[in-house]
């Protein structure tokens, strides 16, 4: 009887040095990173390398250097920065910002002059 996780994980057969066929269970690839606001795919972020594989990369290889990179997609970043500028200039009330976008708007306000 296999260990429970072996029932669902992928099997890979290999030939041992002694000539016997053996089976090993391989892990699936980890998923891609998604935008925290809209759920779209994030570009420039490594995936399916695992935690150790990602940590082995240099800092600039882990995520782009743009604001909210690795968190929000380009469109949502633009929206958040726009809203932050509106709130900061008094064009829009902070309460009028969409609730799910608010944490990003507040972060953008703190980081953008």
Binding to Zn ion (CB under 5 A): which residues in 70-89? 73, 76
- Closest approach, Cβ 30 to Zn ion, in A, equals 20
Binding to Zn ion (CB under 5 A): which residues in 24-43? 35, 37-38, 40
- Closest approach, Cβ 89 to Zn ion, in A, equals 24
Cβ nearer to Zn ion, comparing 38 with 112: 38
> What element of type H or E holds 23?
strand 21-26
Return the DSSP state at 28.
Answer: P
User: Residue 104 and residue 9: Cα distance in Å, rounded?
Assistant: 38
Cβ-Cβ contacts under 8 Å for 54 (sequence gap 6 or more)? 46, 62
Which residues are near Zn ion by CB under 5 A? 35, 37-38, 40, 73, 76
């Amino acid at each position: 009887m296999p260990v429970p996780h072996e029932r669902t994980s992928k099997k890979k057969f290999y030939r041992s040095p002694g000539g016997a066929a053996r089976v090993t269970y391989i892990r699936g690839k980890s998923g891609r990173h998604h935008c925290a606001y809209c759920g779209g795919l994030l570009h420039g972020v490594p995936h399916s390398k695992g935690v150790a594989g990602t940590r082995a990369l240099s800092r600039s290889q882990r995520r782009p250097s743009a604001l909210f990179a690795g968190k929000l997609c380009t469109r949502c970043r633009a929206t958040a920065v726009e809203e932050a500028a509106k709130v900061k200039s008094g064009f829009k009330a902070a309460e009028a910002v969409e609730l799910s976008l608010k944490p990003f708007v507040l972060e953008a306000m703190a980081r953008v002059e």
